[in-house]
Structures are given as structure tokens and as C-alpha cells.
């Protein structure tokens, strides 16, 4: 995998026009566009179709973090498959049977990424949610479920990479909460630099604000690609 194809940029913008304008600036510098809740709720599947048509060489990662009963999940996953997305996220917290239903429905072209524990959650947030395990223990447990269900990959923070490598060695490790040295952390809690995340086994990095809010987003993306390449 080359360095550019490992970089996923989060198009966390309010509407399709802004997303297309950002995508035009970034298409040559990144491997994948991530369409998340804000953009998808505002614009629906048409924004995915527009991105697919205009930028056929850049894959789409539909980050909807689905969490429902298996029958409903199957319906949504089938719709994402027909849209031509490369990856879609589902929450890993409902166990192997739910994840397996998603994997079956996705087929070969669409990869199911299981979100282990959000990178914005720390130990206190996990305790408040009723978990008695630490975030790292939960991530490991859920990575194990994802591997057993046949998921394409997991989403975790850089800080759990070594741990998940042991239980899910063959899965993609997609890592948000990436912050180049000196950039603002914002609401993220379990953060890591691009070089460190790659060195510890990330296969893909998800970067939003450090690129999208930069004065020159394409230059910020290229700097991260260079950091990936040298790591």
C-alpha cells in the first residue's frame, strides 16, 4: 500500500458544495474521502454518488457508525454496497452475531470496519457508560469479535494498536484521533501523531480538522503523506 492510499480525509462539512470544493483541492493528495454523519444527514446518498462520479480514483468511506438489530443493519449495508462505497463503519459493541450479519450482507467489495471505542472516549466516559473494563481492554475485546465475525478491519485509537495486533493481526487498523505534532487536539482524547500511528501498525489514518481547517489543506495532506512514507 502506498503512503497516499493510507490517508483518509474526513469531509466533515455541512453541505455537498463545500464537500466537492474540498475534494477538488485534495483529490491528488489523499487515498480516500470519508463521508460522515454531518454530510450524510444533510445531503443523503446523492453526495456519495457525486463524489464517486467526479473523483473515480478516490474511494469512499461511509462513516455512519451503524448500531441496530441485524435485520436493519443488513438493509443499510446493502444500500451502501449498491452506492459503491469501499468501507462502512458499524459499532462493534453488539457482538459477533450482529457483525457477522453485516459482513454477509457486505460481500467482497464493501469492507465492514468495526468501531471499537470512540477516540473521544476516555476511561471516565467508559465508566459513565457502565463499562467496568478500561478503554484498552474494551478495544481488545471488540477487536477479537470483529476478527471472529470476518470484518475487514477495526477502528481504534493509536494507543491500542499493539494490543489489537495480537488479536486481529490480519484486519485493517483504521486510526482516527491523528494529530501532527503541534496541532490542536479539540474534542479527541486518545490522540497520536501520523508517524507514531504508522510505526505501531496502523494501516490507514483518518484525519479531519488538521487538514480541513488548515490554511492550505492540500499542503497539510501532503505533509502527512510524507510523514507516513518516512515512518
Q: Nearer to ligand C5P by C-beta: 8 or 110?
A: 8
Instruction: Identify the residue among 29, 188, 193, 222 touching ligand C5P (CB under 6 A).
Output: 188
Distance CA 145, CA 17 (A): 38
CA-CA distances (angstroms) from residue 83 to 47, 50, 132, 179, 230? 10, 11, 39, 31, 35
CA atoms within 13 A on the CB side of 194: 29
Instruction: Identify the residue among 135, 158, 208, 217 touching ligand C5P (CB under 6 A).
Output: 208
Q: Nearer to ligand C5P by C-beta: 104 or 120?
A: 120
Query: Least distance from C-beta 114 to ligand C5P, angstroms?
Result: 10
| C-alpha 190: how far from chain center | 15
Which amino acids are annotated catalytic?
Answer: 65
Q: Decide: is 155 part of the binding site for ligand C5P (CB under 6 A).
A: yes
Distance CA 27, CA 32 (A): 8
Q: What are phi and psi of 207, to 5 degrees?
A: -130, 125
Q: Decide: is 67 part of the binding site for ligand C5P (CB under 6 A).
A: no
- Count of residues engaged in binding ligand C5P, rule: CB under 6 A: 17
Q: Which residue's C-beta sits nearest to ligand C5P?
A: 208
Give residues in contact with ligand C5P (CB under 6 A).
10, 12, 36, 63, 115, 118-119, 155, 176-177, 186, 188, 206-210
Amino acid at each position: 500500500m502506498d503512503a497516499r492510499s493510507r490517508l483518509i480525509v474526513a469531509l466533515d462539512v455541512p453541505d455537498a458544495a463545500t464537500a466537492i470544493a474540498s475534494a477538488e483541492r485534495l483529490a491528488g493528495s489523499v487515498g480516500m474521502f470519508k463521508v460522515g454523519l454531518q454530510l450524510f444527514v444533510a445531503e443523503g446518498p446523492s453526495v456519495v454518488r457525486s463524489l464517486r462520479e467526479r473523483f473515480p480514483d478516490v474511494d469512499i468511506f461511509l462513516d455512519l457508525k451503524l448500531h441496530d438489530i441485524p435485520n436493519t443493519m443488513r438493509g443499510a449495508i446493502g444500500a451502501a454496497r449498491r452506492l459503491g462505497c469501499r468501507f462502512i463503519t458499524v459499532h462493534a459493541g453488539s457482538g459477533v452475531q450482529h457483525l457477522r450479519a453485516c459482513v454477509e450482507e457486505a460481500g467482497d467489495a464493501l469492507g465492514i470496519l468495526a468501531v471499537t471505542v470512540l477516540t473521544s472516549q476516555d476511561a471516565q466516559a467508559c465508566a459513565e457508560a457502565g463499562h467496568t473494563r478500561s478503554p484498552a481492554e474494551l478495544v481488545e475485546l471488540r477487536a477479537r469479535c470483529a476478527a471472529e465475525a470476518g470484518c475487514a478491519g477495526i477502528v481504534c485509537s493509536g494507543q491500542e494498536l499493539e494490543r489489537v495486533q495480537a488479536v486481529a493481526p490480519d484486519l485493517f487498523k483504521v486510526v482516527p484521533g491523528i494529530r501532527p505534532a503541534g496541532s490542536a487536539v479539540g474534542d479527541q482524547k486518545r490522540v497520536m501523531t501520523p508517524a507514531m500511528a504508522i510505526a505501531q501498525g496502523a494501516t490507514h489514518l483518518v484525519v479531519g480538522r488538521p487538514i480541513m481547517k488548515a490554511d492550505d489543506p492540500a499542503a497539510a495532506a501532503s505533509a502527512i503523506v510524507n510523514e507516513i512514507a518516512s515512518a
